[in-house]
Amino acid sequence: AQTVTQSQPEMSVQEAETVTLSCTYDTSESDYYLFWYKQPPSRQMILVIRQEAYKQQNATENRFSVNFQKAAKSFSLKISDSQLGDAAMYFCAYYSNYQLIWGAGTKLIIKP
Amino acid sequence: SQTIHQWPATLVQPVGSPLSLECTVEGTSNPNLYWYRQAAGRGLQLLFYSVGIGQISSEVPQNLSASRPQDRQFILSSKKLLLSDSGFYLCAWSRRGLTYGYTFGSGTRLTVV
């Protein structure tokens, strides 16, 4: 069965610095999709970035980028120029064969 | 553009009372619809999903039920709430295949007292 692991329950970063959140997954599939979601204190879940496993190029959305290592089954999220509004829970998720598997989340704290 | 509405935002209900949470989607047709629950400080737990009117799949046996009376309407219900039903409930929709991920509603914070 597929699993998603976020090994960092909490991370903190100074405002304007760069932080990387880790995510690993376990699967025997070759075609799948990976997502990072953000849940701010309002608790609404917001899609941050999406990666298709067959694409070698890492996805980028403004200050957010991923380091997708398919062989290592790793999907980390890099946030550049961290802002106070980035403070949130971040969830990694894996999709294949009509299943969406979620990690336990990483709480990101931004220090002013 | 597609939007998803979920209400109410906050609800306090006594033990043993009924529950009805509603979710509607606009701007799309034939969406996949989902109900998730999130306990405080925890991840997401899929409760129900639906691929069409009247088609409900339950992921976790429990005190809750779901219904989809219309294509873009998804309702979470309970006949008698338990204390353990407290939590944050999120409705979501996706296109067929889920390859673009979910779009979530704003959530309902349910407290059973």
Distance CA A94, CA B92 (A): 16
Which chain B residues are Cβ-neighbours of A5 within 8 angstroms? none
Closest-CA residue in chain A for B95? A98
What element of type H or E holds A4?
strand A3-5
Mutate to test the interface with B, among A92, A100, A101, A102 (most CBs of B within 10 A): A100
pLDDT score of B61 more than 70: no
Distance CA A43, CA A26 (A): 27
Distance CA B31, CA B89 (A): 19
Average pLDDT over residues A40-64: 92
Q: What is the pLDDT of residue B40?
A: 73
Which chain A residues are Cβ-neighbours of B96 within 8 angstroms? none
Q: What is the pLDDT of residue B2?
A: 83
Distance CA A100, CA B49 (A): 11
Mean pLDDT, chain B, rounded, equals 91
pLDDT score of A30 more than 90: no
Q: Encode pLDDT of B63-113 as tens digits.
A: 899 999 999 999 999 999 999 999 999 999 998 776 778 899 999 999 999
Judge whether A75 and A64 are in contact, CB under 8 Å: no
Residue A49: both structure tokens together: 């970035």
pLDDT score of B24 more than 80: yes
Q: What is the pLDDT of residue B100?
A: 78
Strands (E), B8-86: 10-13, 19-26, 32-38, 44-52, 55-58, 65-70, 73-78
Q: What is the pLDDT of residue B95?
A: 86
Average pLDDT over residues A16-24: 98
Q: In 10 A of CB A110, how many CB atoms? A: 20
When pLDDT is cut at 50, 70 and 90, the band that residue A62 belongs to is very high
